[in-house]
Chains A and B, each alone.
Chain A
């Protein structure tokens, strides 16, 4: 039997220089991932992998923040791919580095490499001979490319992977040590604020600067077309000056917004690019007895990071240094280079932690704001922080979706054909991927770039609006179609799960409805249509743990939801227990998840719990509000999220599979939780709500529709 030649993991193949990943210095190991910490705990999991493979104490591992100055380019930290991409690269690179050092130690000590052991970085052999990574570091060069030969340790020999090591960043965060970009002050730093119109795409017709000029501490006012901002000595002065500038501004034009009360009609009426995502051709299916068609919608959803986006920039002649909480330092740099018309080498983009972003929020936009203001300051660093209102109205949103599913059923009510159609804006308009920039201020300059219409990643990368639209169930035939809008009155880009939340909500609601019509238990129905053992296992585990199905009780309902994220990532099944009356309350979510090898089990559970609670918030509360002129949900009052007293109990069962390559957990729960809540509502009240969010209003509308 022939074996395929071993290949390097993708991130290592793209960044093969070993020294770009690992350096040894002063009894420490510096590990440089291209992925960044966004509250998901990735840095700790990657440190575990490195410590394991190198046989050093995790306390010696220093995780270096990503920077275009020297980090590997791993694109963007998104899509639950950091363990898959960075984790595999670090594991492979460290395995080879370990071998290289063992060979060097063998030469120095005169002992066969196979007789040497490594413990906490000390390499020792028979007769008490010893050296260490640090002793050998001067004579061992890692300035060469990785080769695919080195074999990482077998799962059973890993000491740290698979254990719930405490996160490295948490002590700093509870002891108020400065870790966030928001808390960092550079010497001589000035403060900037940028003026934004209420109406998207409006042009600055005139600007009376007198009020702002009178503010003590004003350094300068910056204007380039419709981009206008202030630079001041203090943050307080910048806020005041911005307020004055706003009073002096008149705006013209701007884009009209669609009718918020009928998003499906709007989405379906727009010019679109239509793509057949997947088809399964019918093979000898039975005769059609009936057809069932349902439409599901989800609204625009805000990332609504708890911190307003923030960045710092400092120019020195024609070079600029940028500090950012962007998810992709190289991608941001590429867009900055386009806007500034500078070679990328002149721009250094360095990551610092921000609050959780949950996708493409305003992190990149504020970085360009800071760069443009700092250019006018010509020397001192300038820090820019968005307002809460700008964060809620000018950052990209997760795209609204209309999803229609139609199924042909035979005389026994079995599904014989399945058609799934999606109408939605694209779910990705991230920087660094096109010939034009995706950054907000780029569209406001005197020589503006057009606003980038969001697109969808290809199915091979998990798709966008079509993510998770291909059923995992063994239906005999199907056709999946996606209609991506070519207009974009409301700016959209990547929000956690992209289209998966909407698609899983639709599929799992529809499947549930068909099962109910047949009088079949919804768990049994799913299992009967699933041959994938890992899929069956998570459903059975969640059902068993939730004691499916508890005896009916007035006012209480139970529902199930399942998906494998991107059809290639983590498996997740959820049983929701809800109370339904005038208002819906989610009491408990019982979840089973399979991510293959869980590097840090508690980290996986934390991500699943967080995803489940955030999804509950999306389902019960969240909807970007707007009138024909402007986004109106510009505060936490107008864009409420789930509060402590409303948060359900969440139980997570992790199915460990140490022998299977690990995948991420950050987005696995959203779709299944959404569907499980909707299905539990039906169990409780006998009503199918097909329009998110599930509020008192949408519940009443669904009851009226049903009667």
Chain B
């Protein structure tokens, strides 16, 4: 089995696996990282999004080979209860979810947005999250939370 090297949440990683396998399958299977969720398997819902380099991608249809040598960040790598990312703090402050199954992908899309555009407008936030689906209807809270996090990050 060929091996693929990449950085996973900041740690150099090497894995022997079929390079055509979806990244999501590797993350949840081999690595036991369940932050990224399976929703559709065809890149339509976005709950599996992780950041590769500085873009949020749907890991369910991203083959392992395509992340060779790159940085992969999952929700586990975004922050923790002890060291939360401003987005995680903001989602709690705004109570920005209902069931929360879509949230991992939304947090990663938002994190990628803030990497590229630290002070987005509301319209830009909505546009950045447009390829993430939420079925419970927590959209507006999530948008408020992203703007809140952006604001917090901009005013240290």
Contact with A along B106-137 (1 / 0, CB 8 A): 01000000000000000101110111111111
Question: Separation in Å of the A202 CB from the closest CB of chain B?
Answer: 23
Question: Can you list 19 A-B pairs with a CB-CB distance of less than 8 A?
Answer: A164-B95, A171-B81, A171-B92, A175-B79, A175-B81, A176-B75, A235-B29, A307-B38, A354-B99, A355-B101, A356-B98, A356-B101, A356-B135, A612-B137, A641-B133, A643-B130, A643-B133, A644-B125, A647-B126
Contact with B along A628-645 (1 / 0, CB 8 A): 000000011100011111
> Which residues 173-206 of A have a CB within 8 angstroms of B?
173-178, 180, 182-183, 185
B19 CB within 8 Å of chain A: no
B147 CB within 8 Å of chain A: no
A476 CB within 8 Å of chain B: no
Docked CA distance A183–B79 (Å): 19
Q: Who on chain A is nearest to B30 by CB?
A: A234
Q: Known interface pairs A40-B98, A306-B135, A614-B136. Does A606 touch B44 (Cβ–Cβ under 8 Å)?
A: no
For A650, list chain B residues within 8 Å (CB).
Answer: 140
Docked CA distance A164–B95 (Å): 10
Contact present for B95 and A609 (CB under 8 Å): no
Contact present for B39 and A173 (CB under 8 Å): no
Contact present for A606 and B98 (CB under 8 Å): yes
Contact present for A173 and B103 (CB under 8 Å): yes
Docked CA distance A354–B136 (Å): 13
A224 CB within 8 Å of chain B: no
A641: contacting residue among B29, B42, B135, CB under 8 A: B135
Q: Who on chain A is nearest to B88 by CB?
A: A174
Contact with A along B80-102 (1 / 0, CB 8 A): 11001000100110010111111
For B74, list chain A residues within 8 Å (CB).
Answer: 176
Docked CA distance A610–B132 (Å): 16
Contact present for B41 and A387 (CB under 8 Å): yes
Docked CA distance A613–B84 (Å): 29
Number of A interface residues in the complex (CB < 8 A): 57
* Residues of chain A whose beta carbon lies under 8 Å from any beta carbon of chain B: 38-41, 164, 166-167, 169-171, 173-178, 180, 182-183, 185, 234-236, 304-308, 353-356, 358, 385, 387-388, 602, 606-607, 609-614, 617, 635-637, 641-645, 647, 649-650
B141 CB within 8 Å of chain A: yes
Q: Known interface pairs A176-B35, A356-B98. Does A236 touch B137 (Cβ–Cβ under 8 Å)?
A: no
Q: Who on chain A is nearest to B41 by CB?
A: A388
Docked CA distance A386–B101 (Å): 16
Question: Separation in Å of the A236 CB from the closest CB of chain B?
Answer: 6
Contact present for A644 and B135 (CB under 8 Å): no
Question: Separation in Å of the B150 CB from the closest CB of chain A?
Answer: 16
Contact with A along B34-49 (1 / 0, CB 8 A): 1101111110110100
Contact present for A38 and B42 (CB under 8 Å): no
Contact present for B129 and A635 (CB under 8 Å): no
Docked CA distance A175–B74 (Å): 11
B76 CB within 8 Å of chain A: yes
Q: Who on chain B is nearest to A173 by CB?
A: B100
Contact present for B92 and A174 (CB under 8 Å): yes
For A178, list chain B residues within 8 Å (CB).
Answer: 34
Q: Known interface pairs A355-B99, A644-B139, A647-B140. Does A175 touch B80 (Cβ–Cβ under 8 Å)?
A: yes
Docked CA distance A178–B100 (Å): 12
For A355, list chain B residues within 8 Å (CB).
Answer: 99, 101-102, 135
Docked CA distance A166–B141 (Å): 14
Q: Who on chain A is nearest to B36 by CB?
A: A176
B57 CB within 8 Å of chain A: no
Known: A39-B136, A166-B95, A610-B136. 12 other contacts (CB 8 A): A174-B84, A175-B81, A176-B34, A180-B34, A306-B45, A306-B135, A306-B136, A388-B40, A388-B44, A610-B137, A642-B139, A644-B132
Contact present for B95 and A307 (CB under 8 Å): no
For B42, list chain A residues within 8 Å (CB).
Answer: 388, 635
Docked CA distance A511–B128 (Å): 41
For A645, list chain B residues within 8 Å (CB).
Answer: 123, 126-127, 130
For B91, list chain A residues within 8 Å (CB).
Answer: 170, 174
A176: contacting residue among B25, B76, B98, B133, CB under 8 A: B76
For B140, list chain A residues within 8 Å (CB).
Answer: 609, 613, 647, 649-650
Contact present for A39 and B40 (CB under 8 Å): no
Contact present for A307 and B100 (CB under 8 Å): no
Contact present for A305 and B135 (CB under 8 Å): yes
For the complex of A and B, list the 5 residue pairs with the smallest distance between their C-beta atoms, beginning with the closest: A39-B99, A613-B137, A610-B137, A176-B35, A173-B100
Question: Separation in Å of the A590 CB from the closest CB of chain B?
Answer: 13
Q: Who on chain B is nearest to A38 by CB?
A: B99
Docked CA distance A40–B137 (Å): 11
Q: Who on chain A is nearest to B79 by CB?
A: A175
Question: Separation in Å of the B33 CB from the closest CB of chain A?
Answer: 8
Docked CA distance A611–B29 (Å): 35
Contact present for A613 and B139 (CB under 8 Å): yes
For B76, list chain A residues within 8 Å (CB).
Answer: 176
For A612, list chain B residues within 8 Å (CB).
Answer: 137
Q: Who on chain B is nearest to A358 by CB?
A: B135
Q: Known interface pairs A178-B34, A356-B101, A641-B135. Does A635 touch B81 (Cβ–Cβ under 8 Å)?
A: no
Docked CA distance A176–B140 (Å): 22
A636: contacting residue among B44, B101, B126, CB under 8 A: B44
For B143, list chain A residues within 8 Å (CB).
Answer: 644
